[in-house]
Chains A and B, each alone.
Chain A
Amino acid sequence: MSDDSDRKRRPDGGTATERNRGEELFADIDLRREHLKNRAFLGLIFAASMFGVVALALLLLDVVTDFYVGITEFEISLIQFFTVDGSRRPENAGFFGAIIASVMLMALTAVLSFFVGVGAAIYLEEYAPNNRITRLIKANLSNLAGVPSIVYGLLVLAALVNGIGVGPILLAGSVALALLVMPIIIVSAQEAIRAVPDGVRNGSYATGATKWQTIRQVVLPSAMPGILTGTILALARAIGETAPLLMVGALFVNRTPFGPFDRFSGMPTQIYAWAAEPSQHFIHLAAVGIVVLLTILLSMNAVAVYLRNKYETAV
């Protein structure tokens, strides 16, 4: 393979005692060109890896600049922004309803996806025999993780919103998000359960405990920090998802939802509604909304990292 071609290209260098002969042998190889090639390559891939960093910096810079311009030039009052619902008129628009909707969405999504997701992970790691059904479940799981988020929105639109006829309510949105993050929760919970050493399990079995007793009282408690970290990261993904909510019908709603059966518009859908408006005032409202969204995401990630660091050494 590639080793063979290298051998052909470069004659055997010989040992240190044969250095003179070696130099004669190497006389036809221009080392300066090799060095130049190496340096050029390093420069190229370094520049390429900086591309992502620069893009991230530009993105954040752009959002922060627009946020600043929005507050100074368009006089978006932050107090109003956090206390008032959305509006058709930019000077009256706020983010309150969207924030409340997103928090409720996240709580419902967590309840809907956590137990089923962790249950599936326990089954796959602890119980599942190596047969065709298990392989099907595993293959299906990796496929589900790659399904576009908008398709989950279509599923809920046809099955719940119009199929059962519940309408574009908050609960329907959280079902779509729960289905979307389920594979992420399962995979991260699987990893956390796998990280529990087998010695711990065997110790429990040796005392006569059944498999379920072992899982509930030994495996789950020590895997829980990892499972929670994964769940928080998955929910952080859910809170930023826009497409499924749009398909469910969360657009152009400006009222605060009071329960899971109210119509709603979450933070990302509200940002989309603003960003799609031609008016510059709305664009800057979107920038302020994005700053709020990113701040929430960042703090969720910080909590997840803190949990991971705190418990990583304990197990």
Chain B
Amino acid sequence: MSTDTNPGPGITGDAAATDAKQRNKRARQVLFGCAAFTVLTTLAIFFVLIDNAVSYFYGARATEMIFLGVEPQSAVGLIEFLNVRELLAGEARWAPEHATPSHNAWPIIFGTLAITVGAAFVSIPIGTATALYVSEYASPQVRSKLKPTLEVLAGIPTIVYGYFAIAFINPVVLGPIAGLFGINIGRYSMLSGMLVVGIMTIPMVSSISEDAMQAVPDDLRNGAYALGATKYDVSVSVVTPAAISGIFASYILAVSRAIGETMAVTLAAGFNANITANPFSEIMTMTAYMVSMARGTSAIGTIEYQSLFAVGLVLFCMTLVMNLLNDWFKRRFQEEYR
């Protein structure tokens, strides 16, 4: 054995050992490739969405313009796509597949935002209260039953929630209520979409908020009790503020999920793109528009097909902002108690 050629630890110069080292190096490279693949996925999403969205606005894909020298021509203007003046005048119309097409995306952006805000009104208060109950009040027996139940709620596929909306919430729950106002509810309604997306995001808010509350050190609670605080005071004035960044992170995650939610809102809220304040009327979200395109037979290269990617890009950017915000909150929360 020659120890002078390689001063490293272990048996050196041995053929088997160098072989093992080589294999170690190769394994490391392959595994790095696996990890880098996830970054490639994100880049591919960006590339595909932008490339195809460009063809919606300029008549040819970005790659076609660069590599094939196709001249850009104006198809749908960005100003037309996000025309605020039409929105304020109440004339915004989203109908790319219509005989007289109109490309103002505000109605479907409104649909997505309306569902998101409505769902947040359901999931945030109920989810936070559930988290407080499970974390601070529930006995171990209750907790051991409540938490798996919420996990089941989180594990149910979105299509089943959609079915629940179209077969139960809308006709059985909301139908009679709409009847009281003298409104004849259709198959779809905005309110049913809000409710069903709210219900499906409750477990997200509650489980992440509860984790944050559990991470609050008991010293803080005991300190408050020693001062004569009641359990209510401890829960509301000590635990909640101490866990606030984790709680906010859960809200953002729930909102992000609601923005991208597809099947439940499609089956609950419908396919009629309009801006309305009537909770019993049918609306269309961005995701529902994509589904309606998938249901139809829009050929490649048509403006309807291209609009899919423009809408997808808007959707992706909205959730991206939410995810980055969520990351930021989570990092703050981890720094505080570790």
A interface residues, Cβ below 8 angstroms from B: 1-3, 5-7, 10, 13, 34-35, 37-38, 41-42, 44-46, 48-49, 51-53, 55-56, 58-59, 62-63, 66, 115-120, 122-124, 127-128, 136-137, 139-144, 146-152, 154-155, 157-159, 162-163, 179, 182-183, 186, 208-213, 215, 236-237, 240-243, 246-247, 249, 251, 268, 271-272, 275-276, 278, 283, 286-287, 290, 293-294, 297, 301
Contacts of B10 in A (CB 8 A): 208
Give the residue name and chain of the B residue nearest to A29 (CB): B228
Q: Which of B23, B41, B133 contacts A45 (CB 8 A)?
A: B133
Question: Contact at A212–B28, with CB atoms within 8 Å?
Answer: yes
Q: Complex: how many Å from CA A268 to CA B30? A: 35
Contact among A38, A209, A268 with B159 in the assembled complex (CB-CB below 8 Å) = A268
Q: Which residues from chain A contact B259 at a C-beta distance below 8 Å?
A: 148
Report whether B20 and A52 are in contact in the complex, using a CB–CB cutoff of 8 Å. no
Structural contact, A140 and B42, CB atoms closer than 8 A:
yes
B146 part of interface (Cβ distance < 8 Å): yes
The winner among A150, A155, A162 for most chain B CB atoms within 10 A is A150
- Contact yes or no, B31 A52, CB < 8 A: no
A36 to chain B, nearest CB (A): 10
Shortest Cβ distance from A278 into chain B, in angstroms? 7
CB distance from B76 to the nearest CB of A (A): 18
B125 lies within 8 A of A48 (CB): yes
Q: How far is the CA of A45 from the CA of B134 in the complex (A)?
A: 9
Having A122-B34, A146-B326, A290-B160, one finds 9 other A-B pairs with CB under 8 Å, namely: A42-B137, A51-B202, A150-B291, A151-B316, A159-B44, A243-B262, A271-B159, A272-B159, A275-B267
Residues from chain B with a CB closer than 8 A to the CB of A242 are: 157-159, 262-263
Q: Does A143 lie within 8 Å of B42, measured CB to CB?
A: yes
CB distance from A142 to the nearest CB of B (A): 6
B162 A240 Cβ-Cβ under 8 A? no
List B residues at the A interface (Cβ < 8 Å): 10-11, 17, 20-21, 23-24, 27-28, 30-39, 41-42, 44-45, 48-49, 51-52, 125-126, 129-130, 132-134, 137-138, 146, 149-150, 152-153, 155-164, 166-168, 187, 199, 202-203, 206, 223-224, 227-233, 235-238, 241, 253, 256-257, 259-263, 267, 287, 290-291, 294-295, 300, 308-309, 312, 315-316, 319-320, 322-324, 326-327, 330
Interchain Cβ contacts under 8 Å between A and B, 6 examples? A52-B153, A63-B164, A148-B319, A155-B41, A212-B20, A243-B287
Chain A residues in 8 Å Cβ range of B39: 136-137, 140
Establish whether residues B233 and A6, one from each chain, have CB atoms under 8 Å apart when the complex forms.
yes
Is the Cβ of A116 less than 8 Å from the Cβ of B24? Answer: no
Task: Using known A-B contacts A2-B237, A241-B157, determine if residue A116 contacts B34 with beta carbons closer than 8 Å.
Answer: yes
Among B21, B45, B233, B308, which residue has its beta carbon within 8 angstroms of that of A210?
B21
Question: Which residue of A10, A158, A271, A283 contacts B48 across the interface (Cβ within 8 Å)?
Answer: A158
A155 and B45 in contact (CB under 8 A), knowing A120-B35, A247-B294?
A: yes
- Once the chains bind, are B155 and A301 in contact (CB under 8 Å)? yes
**Does B31 contact A119, Cβ atoms closer than 8 Å?**
yes
Which 7 A-B pairs have CB atoms at the shortest separation, nearest pair first?
Answer: A148-B260, A240-B157, A119-B34, A48-B129, A123-B31, A243-B262, A49-B130
* Contacting residue for A183 out of B32, B38, B133, CB 8 A: B38
Given A5-B237, A116-B37, A246-B294, do A52 and B199 touch, yes or no (CB 8 Å)?
yes
Q: Is the CB of B42 within 8 A of A55?
A: no
Contacts of A42 in B (CB 8 A): 137, 231-232
Report how far A3 CA is from B221 CA in the complex, Å: 10
Bound Cα distance from A38 to B234, whole angstroms: 11
Q: Which residue of B lies closest to A128 (CB)?
A: B35
Q: Is the CB of A52 within 8 A of B237?
A: no
CA gap between A76 and B43 in the complex, in Å: 47
Given A240-B157, A251-B295, are A151 and B34 neighbors across the interface (CB < 8 Å)? Answer: no
Contact pick for A137, options B38, B224, B319, CB 8 Å:
B38
- CB-CB under 8 A from B187, the residues of chain A are 278
Least CB distance, A135 to chain B, in whole angstroms: 11
A146 to B316, CA, bound (A): 10
* A58-B263 CB under 8 A given contacts A45-B129, A140-B42, A251-B294: no
Q: Which residue of B lies closest to A62 (CB)?
A: B168
Bound form: Cα–Cα A212–B33 in Å:
15
Candidates A62, A148, A286; contact of B315 at CB < 8 Å: A148
Cβ–Cβ < 8 Å partners of A52 in chain B: 126, 130, 149-150, 153, 199, 202-203, 206
> B309 touching A158 by the CB < 8 A rule?
yes
Which chain A residues border B320 with CB–CB below 8 Å?
A: 143, 147
Task: For A123, list chain B residues within 8 Å (CB).
Answer: 28, 31-32, 34-35
The reply to whether B167 and A137 form a contact with Cβ atoms under 8 Å apart is no
| A144 touching B227 in the complex, CB below 8 Å, given contacts A268-B159, A272-B263 | no
User: Given A66-B167, A127-B28, A150-B312, A139–B156 Cβ distance below 8 Å?
Assistant: no
A276 contacts B35, C-beta separation under 8 Å: no
